[in-house]
Amino acid sequence: MKPRDFQIDLQKKLSDVYEVQEAGAIAARYLTDCFGLSTTQLLLNEELPLTTEEEAKIDSDVKQLLAHVPVQQVVGFELFCGHRFKVTADTLIPRPETEDLVRLATEKCCGALSNILDVGTGSGCIAISLAKALPLAHVTAWDISEGALQVAQENAASLGARVDFLLRDLLKEAETPTLAPQSLDAIVSNPPYIPEEEAQTMEAQVVNYEPHSALFVPNDNPLLFYHALARLGWHALRPSGSLLVETHTDFTAAVATLFESMGYTSVRVINDCFDLPRFVEAVWE
């Protein structure tokens, strides 16, 4: 196989199901991640010998890509905060804007023996990145999905991060907390926040292959999980503890108003790396 020829052919095939620019990005990502090829090696286009098994794997991968399986799931990982995270159909694929949530939490808890909870951990990307950035902190991560927790535990082991992963339902915990009172310095979360009705306008690779339980909320209650997080904070946050969340850009102001109405102070909206209102920070006094 000549890599550059294969890339051009794959991009052409993918252009039938993706926009041309995205098809090109997917083809390049697949080649570089699966075969460890540099841009220079792709341009040299030297013959790459393949075994029968490798050829069969490529055929299977291409079929998956043409069926809109995300390239991150096909190659098996995504990069986040400089670390390589395994992803599967049980986990959301980490997005670059969520790295800003990690940065905000790191700045908030820097230099302290902090006790941090990540709610809805998925692949573990937030919790593990915090544990790596704050080696003195104690990081706990919850998820409602056993499959996601298994992936997160694998990621923590491969990255050498100390995180306590627990199977927990936020909505139940908000009503009947199992956490010790005033035991947390920060609660961090990227909860489900997309109204179900938006699914019909979203990309097939997201709707068909990422877990709906981590994506969608009822149309008539889009702030469901933010209300639960705020209630959990009432019980679990220490005085001056922080609640840091990622939100839908349409609901950031509403989340900020909700937190203020529930007694939180120093509430502020923060833009993401694309300059969109994405995060809300609040303090429990």
Tell me the C-alpha distance between 130 and 138, whole Å: 9
Note whether 149 and 251 are same-domain residues: yes
- The range of the structural domain enclosing residue 168 comes to 90-284
**Domain CATH code at residue 243:** 3.40.50.150
Note whether 105 and 52 are same-domain residues: no
- Cα dihedral: 25, 87, 273, 137 (round 10): -150
Q: Are strands 237-246 and 277-284 parallel, antiparallel or unpaired?
A: antiparallel
pLDDT score, position 168: 98
Q: Are 45 and 3 in contact (CB under 8 A)?
A: yes
Note whether 48 and 156 are same-domain residues: no
SS3 11: helix
Could you say which residues of the chain have pLDDT below 50? none
- Its pTM stands at 0.95
Note whether 115 and 53 are same-domain residues: no
Note whether 106 and 196 are same-domain residues: yes
Query: What is the per-residue pLDDT across 259-283, written as a single tens digit (0 to 9) for each?
Result: 999 999 999 999 999 999 999 999 9
pLDDT score, position 38: 80
Q: Are 139 and 127 in contact (CB under 8 A)?
A: yes
pLDDT score, position 99: 98
Query: What is the per-residue pLDDT across 25-40, written as a single tens digit (0 to 9) for each?
Result: 999 999 999 888 887 8
pLDDT score, position 36: 84
Tell me the C-alpha distance between 90 and 123, whole Å: 8
Break the chain down into helix, strand, coil percent, rounded to 5: 45, 20, 35
Confirm whether 9 is domain-assigned.
yes
pLDDT score, position 41: 82
Report the run of H or E that residue 48 belongs to, with start and end.
none
- Tokens read off for 113: 């023996």
